[in-house]
Chain A
Amino acid sequence: MLVSSDVPLLRVRELGVTHDGESTPAPASVSFDIAAGEVVLLLGPSGSGKSTLTLALNGLLPQAVPAAMTGSVEVDGLDTQTTPVAELSTRVGMVFQDPDAQLVTGTLLDEVAFGPENLRMPVAEVLARAEEALRRVGLWERRRENPDRLSGGGRQRLAIACALAMGSPLLVLDEPTANLDPAGIEEFYAALGELVAAGDRAILLVEHNLDAAVGFIDRVVVLDHDGFLAADGTVDQVLRDRAEDLHAMGVWLPVSAIAALRLRRAGFRLDPLPLTPDELRVALDAEPAPAAIFSPNPPLVAESTRDRPPSAGGLAEKGWIGGAGSDAGGSDAGGGAGSDAGGSDAGGSGVATDPLIRVRGLTLRRGRTEVLHGVDLDVPRGSFVAVVGANGAGKTSLIQALAGVVSPPKGTVHVDGLDVGRADARTLSSRIGFVFQNPEHQFIAHTVFDEIAHGLRRQHLPDAEVRARTEALLERFGLTAKAESHPFLLSGGQKRRLSVGTALVAGAPVLVLDEPTFGQDRARADELLSLLSELNAEGTTIVVVTHDMQLVTDYADRAVVLADGRVMAEGPTAALFADDELIARAGLRPPPLRRALQGVQRHPELARIARLSDLPGDPSSASATHAARHATGGVA
C-alpha cells in the first residue's frame, strides 16, 4: 500500500491478451500509468478488450482466467503475472458488473468483512475497516440486513464498500451500472462521487453511462477497435478536442457531447465542447442562435415534430416505407414521416380506428396481488412503442399479457383481431412474438436451423417451404454460416438476433421485447436497436419495455407511461417527454438530452426537444440518415 512518489501506482506496458480459443489479441498493445488518487476513464469500442484489461490488473488474468498475456502490468511495483491474486487484492479492489455475482455472506457487515477476514486481519481491525467502508457508502445503518434486500444500486454501493475494505489504493470498476435502473445509477454515482471527492483512491472506470461519470474524471484512456492505445490525456484533451475522432471510432460519448457536435454542424460554436447537460445548457444560453439554422432542413424542424406526433402514429408510413425502404432507420421515422405526411393530420386521426393491439379493461393478478388495474391501450400498426415506468409499475406484466405469456382474461386483449385470452399458443405465435431478456432462455433446439424451423414446423407446413423460409430468415439475420451450430455457441449478438428471428418466423406482425438492453454492453444494445429499427421500418410493430430513457426518446415513436398498474399517459414520445411534470410524477428521470435542453432560455425552439434526431444540424440526405442512426447508436 505504500506508494513511493516516483513509481506510478499502476504501470501497464504493451499489454496484449489473447483469450484461450481466440486468435487475435484484445487488447493488443496498451501502455499507460495511473498515479495515486487519479480518476481514469477507460473508453473503447466494443471488442477492444476493456473488460479483459481490467481482469489483468489484479492478476485474475492470467492466473484465474486462462489466456496468453504479453507485455507487463505492475501494481505498486509488483508484477501481476507472478504475484498471487490474494496479495494483489490489497492493492487493486474490483467492482464488477453484476451485483448478484459479488455476494457471499448473509449480512452487509459480514459481506464487507469477508475480504479483510481472508487476509487474516485481527477482529478489531476487520470491524474497523468494515465500519469505515460501510459509512463511506452510506450503508452503515443497514449493516445487519441481508444484501438481498438492497436495491441494485445499493448492492453496487456495497460492492464498492467491499473493495474499499481491502484497503486497496486503486479501485477498478467494470461497467458497474450496466445492470441498474436509472434510480440505481443515480444512487451509485452519488456514492462514487463522494469517494472521488475524498481523493484518497485512484479509480479506473469502464463505463458507458458517461453522462453521470464525466463530471469527476481526471483523465481518459481510449483503446481503438483493434485494441491499441488511441488516446491518453485529460478530459479536455481527449473528450473535448478529439470528440469527432472518437465518435467516428465508435467510442461512446456523453449524449450532451453528441448533441453539441450536431448543433455545431447547425452553426453553433459551442467551444469548448460541452460534455454534461449543465454545460450544454450554459453554453447554449451563452451564444445567439446562428442565422437560419432551421431553414435548410424543413423536415427536421423541431416545431413540426413537436406539434405533430412523430411518424403520425405510424400511419403515413405505408407509402413511406415503400419509398425509403430499409434506408430509413426507425430512429428517424419521425422526421421521415413528417416530411412525407407534410401538414396532413389525416394520417394521425386514422390511427385510432385500426389499432393492431387493443386492450380494454385489462386487470391482471399475480398470486394474490392485482398488478394491472383496468388498463385500456391501443397500439397502432407499424409503431415503435416503449413501455416505461418505475419499478413495480406493471410493465412486464402488461407486455406478458399482450403476448399471452401470461393469459389475460378473455376479451381484454386483442392482437390483430385475435383474442389472446382464448388463443392457443400456436395461433398466438403467428400473431405476436415475444423476446425474453436472456435469449438463451428461449432456445429449445440443438441447431440454429432447427431453432428457426421449429416455429414453421409447428404450423405443419411442407418441408420444402420450411427449409426455404428458414434459409431466407437465416440470411436476413446474418446467421447462414451458423445454421448447424448449437444456439448456445453463438456470440452474444448472434444469440440476440436468433431470438428475434425465432419470434418472427411464424409471421407475427408484432414483436414484444422485455428489457432487451438490460445488462448488456452498449455495442450489443446498439446492434439490437438497429435491427429493431430496420424491422420497424419494414412494417413490424415493436413494443419494448425499457429503463433507458434516451433509448426511448431516440427510437420509440410512441410511449406508454405506467404507474402502479395503470396507464398514466400514452402518446407520441416527444410530447410525453416534453411534459416534465408527468415524467417526474411517474417516477422517471428525463433523458440526458431533455435535462440539458429543458432549461435553455435563449433558444426556445430547442427547449422542447428530447431526441437527438430532432436536433438541427443533420443534413437531410440518405447518408445522413445512417450517420444519425450511428450517432444515436453511439450514445443512446
Chain B
Amino acid sequence: MTDTGPLTAATAAHSTFDPYARRVEASGLRFLYGLNPLAKLAAPLPAMALLVFVRDAATPAAFLLLAYAVLLVGVSFTRRLAAILFLALPLSALVIGFGFALWTDASRVDQSVVVWQLGGWTMYGGALEVGFATGLRLSAIVALTLIAGLSTTGPDLVRAAVQQLRVPYRIGYTALAAFRFVPRFGHELDVIRQAHRVRGSHGGRGPFAAIARWFGYVVPLMAGAIRHAERVALAMDSRAFGAHPDRTERYLVPWRVRDTVFVIVFWLASAALFWFFFPWGLR
C-alpha cells in the first residue's frame, strides 16, 4: 500500500477470501506491504528459476530460510501466516519428500546406507536424500512466491502492471472485473450439478462417466458466463470504460528507491547463497 489515506481495511476481518481487500496498515517494520508488487515479484525470480536446476538439499533449505525470514519480518504475523509457514509448507515438503523417495529408481541412487527393509524391498538413504531434496526445492520455490503473494492485493498488482509495465489498462481492469466472476461461477456450478443430479444424468461411476458428466456442466456454465460477461461489458461501457488511452489513477503504485534496493539486495543475497553452496558440483 503506497497511499495512506483513511482507507484501511474494514473488510480485513471478513473471513472469506476477498481478492479486493485492502490490508490494514502495519507497522513500518512490516516492510513488504510498502513495496511495489513488481519488486516483490522480480526479487525472488532469479532464485526461483535457478532452484529448478538444483539437486542438493542444502541450497533449497537456505532459500527456504531466507524466504521465511523475509516473510516473518515483512508481513503481519497472522494465524493464516503461521498456518502456511509452519503447517502447510513443512507438511507438503514431508509428503513430497517421502513420495519422491518411494518413486525414485533405487538402482540409480547411492545404496551405501540402508534406512529400512521390508521383505525384498529396501529404502536406501540415497532415495530419501533425492526425495527430500525435491520436497525442499518445491517448498523453497513456493515460499519465494509467497513474498509477493502474501503482501500484495489483486488491484495493486494490476495497477503496478498498468503503471510500470505499461500493460494496457483495458486489459488490466477487465481482468480485475473478472475476479468477480469466480465466486459467481462456483455457485452456478453447484446449482448445475445439483440440477443434473436431480434429472438423473449421473451416467454411472468411473472416470469416463465423470468426464462425460463434467462436459454436461460446461454448456450451461458457458451460456451463463457469456451472458453475464456481456452484461458486465455493457455496464462498463456505459461508464466510459476505455474512453481514453489512459485513466485517472487515484492509487499510485510508484517504483521507489526502496524497491530498487530490495530487488538488488535480494539478488545479491541469492547470488551469495548460490556461490556459497554452489550446487552444481563443478567446484
Residue of A nearest to B7 (CB): A144
Bound Cα distance from A455 to B201, whole angstroms: 10
* Residue A328 CB within 8 A of the other chain: no
> In the complex, are the beta carbons of A64 and B234 less than 8 A apart?
yes
Residue of A nearest to B18 (CB): A146
Q: Of B196, B202, B250, which contacts A126 at CB under 8 A? A: B250
Greatest chain A CB density within 10 A among B196, B198, B202, B219 is at B198
* Residue B177 CB within 8 A of the other chain: yes
Q: Tell me which residues across on chain A come within 8 A of B21, comparing CB atoms.
A: 106, 146
Q: Tell me which residues across on chain A come within 8 A of B173, comparing CB atoms.
A: 104
* Residue A127 CB within 8 A of the other chain: yes
Residue of B nearest to A111 (CB): B239
Given A86-B240, A101-B232, A105-B20, does the pair A454, B201 have CB atoms closer than 8 Å? Answer: yes
Q: Which of B124-150 contact A (CB under 8 A)?
A: none
Using an 8 Å CB-CB cutoff, how does the interface string of A413-455 with B read, 1 for contact, 0 for none?
A: 0000000000001100100001011101111100000000011
Q: How large is the interface on B (under 10, 10 to 19, 20 to 34, 35 or more residues)?
A: 35 or more
Bound Cα distance from A98 to B231, whole angstroms: 8
Given A106-B20, A127-B250, does the pair A114, B239 have CB atoms closer than 8 Å? Answer: yes
Q: Of A93, A94, A96, A145, which contacts B10 at CB under 8 A? A: A145
> In the complex, are the beta carbons of B198 and A403 less than 8 A apart?
yes
Using an 8 Å CB-CB cutoff, how does the interface string of B172-185 with A read, 1 for contact, 0 for none?
A: 01001100100110
Report the minimal beta-carbon distance from B201 to chain A, rounded to whole angstroms.
4
Interface segment out of the listed A30-38, A117-125, A236-244, A581-589? A117-125
Report the minimal beta-carbon distance from B25 to chain A, rounded to whole angstroms.
13
* Residue A89 CB within 8 A of the other chain: yes
> In the complex, are the beta carbons of B199 and A106 less than 8 A apart?
no
* Residue B195 CB within 8 A of the other chain: yes
> In the complex, are the beta carbons of A96 and B231 less than 8 A apart?
yes
Report the minimal beta-carbon distance from A42 to chain B, rounded to whole angstroms.
17
Using an 8 Å CB-CB cutoff, how does the interface string of B3-37 with A read, 1 for contact, 0 for none?
A: 00001111100100011111000000000000000
* Residue B80 CB within 8 A of the other chain: no
Report the minimal beta-carbon distance from B81 to chain A, rounded to whole angstroms.
22
Report the minimal beta-carbon distance from B13 to chain A, rounded to whole angstroms.
12
Using an 8 Å CB-CB cutoff, how does the interface string of B240-264 with A read, 1 for contact, 0 for none?
A: 1111101111100000000000000
* Residue A273 CB within 8 A of the other chain: no
Using an 8 Å CB-CB cutoff, how does the interface string of A448-474 with B read, 1 for contact, 0 for none?
A: 000000110010000000000000000
Bound Cα distance from A60 to B192, whole angstroms: 32
Bound Cα distance from A441 to B222, whole angstroms: 11
> In the complex, are the beta carbons of B237 and A60 less than 8 A apart?
yes
Report the minimal beta-carbon distance from B187 to chain A, rounded to whole angstroms.
11
* Residue B200 CB within 8 A of the other chain: yes
> In the complex, are the beta carbons of A144 and B11 less than 8 A apart?
yes
Given A106-B155, A426-B200, does the pair A120, B247 have CB atoms closer than 8 Å? Answer: yes
> In the complex, are the beta carbons of B155 and A87 less than 8 A apart?
no
> In the complex, are the beta carbons of A429 and B247 less than 8 A apart?
no
Bound Cα distance from A118 to B247, whole angstroms: 5
> In the complex, are the beta carbons of A126 and B248 less than 8 A apart?
yes
* Residue A223 CB within 8 A of the other chain: no
> In the complex, are the beta carbons of A144 and B240 less than 8 A apart?
no
Greatest chain A CB density within 10 A among B9, B219, B240, B247 is at B240
Given A126-B248, A146-B14, A403-B198, does the pair A101, B228 have CB atoms closer than 8 Å? Answer: yes
Bound Cα distance from A628 to B212, whole angstroms: 48
Question: How many inter-chain residue pairs (CB < 8 Å) link A and B?
Answer: 174
Q: Which of B203-227 contact A (CB under 8 A)?
A: 216, 219-220, 223-224
Bound Cα distance from A434 to B195, whole angstroms: 9
> In the complex, are the beta carbons of B195 and A442 less than 8 A apart?
yes
Residue of A nearest to B239 (CB): A115
Residue of B nearest to A168 (CB): B238
Given A60-B234, A96-B231, A106-B20, does the pair A117, B250 have CB atoms closer than 8 Å? Answer: yes
> In the complex, are the beta carbons of B219 and A488 less than 8 A apart?
yes
Residue of A nearest to B248 (CB): A117
Residue of A nearest to B231 (CB): A101
Q: Tell me which residues across on chain B come within 8 A of A110, comparing CB atoms.
A: 155, 250
Bound Cα distance from A118 to B246, whole angstroms: 8
Q: Tell me which residues across on chain A come within 8 A of B200, comparing CB atoms.
A: 425-426, 429, 454-455, 458
* Residue A103 CB within 8 A of the other chain: yes
Residue of B nearest to A125 (CB): B248
> In the complex, are the beta carbons of B199 and A100 less than 8 A apart?
no
Bound Cα distance from A120 to B246, whole angstroms: 7
> In the complex, are the beta carbons of B20 and A441 less than 8 A apart?
no
Q: Of A85, A104, A120, A444, which contacts B176 at CB under 8 A? A: A104
Q: Of B180, B201, B244, which contacts A103 at CB under 8 A? A: B180
Report the minimal beta-carbon distance from B91 to chain A, rounded to whole angstroms.
25
Q: Tell me which residues across on chain A come within 8 A of B188, comparing CB atoms.
A: 441
Report the minimal beta-carbon distance from A507 to chain B, rounded to whole angstroms.
14
* Residue B95 CB within 8 A of the other chain: no
Bound Cα distance from A101 to B228, whole angstroms: 6
> In the complex, are the beta carbons of A107 and B201 less than 8 A apart?
no
Bound Cα distance from A403 to B202, whole angstroms: 17
Q: Tell me which residues across on chain A come within 8 A of B199, comparing CB atoms.
A: 429, 442, 444, 454-455, 502
> In the complex, are the beta carbons of B224 and A434 less than 8 A apart?
no
Given A96-B231, A118-B247, A425-B202, does the pair A443, B220 have CB atoms closer than 8 Å? Answer: yes
* Residue B194 CB within 8 A of the other chain: yes
> In the complex, are the beta carbons of A444 and B216 less than 8 A apart?
yes
Q: Tell me which residues across on chain B come within 8 A of A426, comparing CB atoms.
A: 200
Q: Of B8, B183, B196, B235, which contacts A442 at CB under 8 A? A: B196
Greatest chain B CB density within 10 A among A100, A126, A127 is at A100
Q: Tell me which residues across on chain B come within 8 A of A437, comparing CB atoms.
A: 191
Bound Cα distance from A58 to B184, whole angstroms: 28
* Residue A116 CB within 8 A of the other chain: yes
Q: Of B234, B238, B250, which contacts A93 at CB under 8 A? A: B238
> In the complex, are the beta carbons of A444 and B201 less than 8 A apart?
yes
Q: Of A90, A148, A405, A440, which contacts B240 at CB under 8 A? A: A90
Greatest chain A CB density within 10 A among B21, B154, B220 is at B220
Greatest chain A CB density within 10 A among B184, B242, B247, B249 is at B247
* Residue A545 CB within 8 A of the other chain: no
Sampled A-B contacts (8; CB under 8 Å):
A86-B240, A93-B238, A106-B22, A126-B250, A149-B11, A437-B191, A442-B195, A444-B199
- 11 new A-B contacts, CB < 8 A, other than A58-B238, A440-B224, are A65-B234, A86-B241, A86-B243, A102-B232, A106-B18, A106-B19, A113-B250, A117-B248, A145-B11, A162-B239, A444-B196
Q: Which 10 A-B pairs have the closest CB atoms?
A: A106-B20, A86-B243, A101-B231, A115-B239, A442-B195, A118-B240, A94-B238, A444-B201, A117-B248, A86-B240
Q: Which residues of A contact B (CB under 8 A)?
A: 55, 58, 60, 64-65, 84-87, 89-90, 92-94, 96, 98, 100-107, 109-110, 113-123, 126-127, 144-146, 148-149, 162, 166, 403-405, 425-426, 429, 434, 436-438, 440-444, 454-455, 458, 488, 502
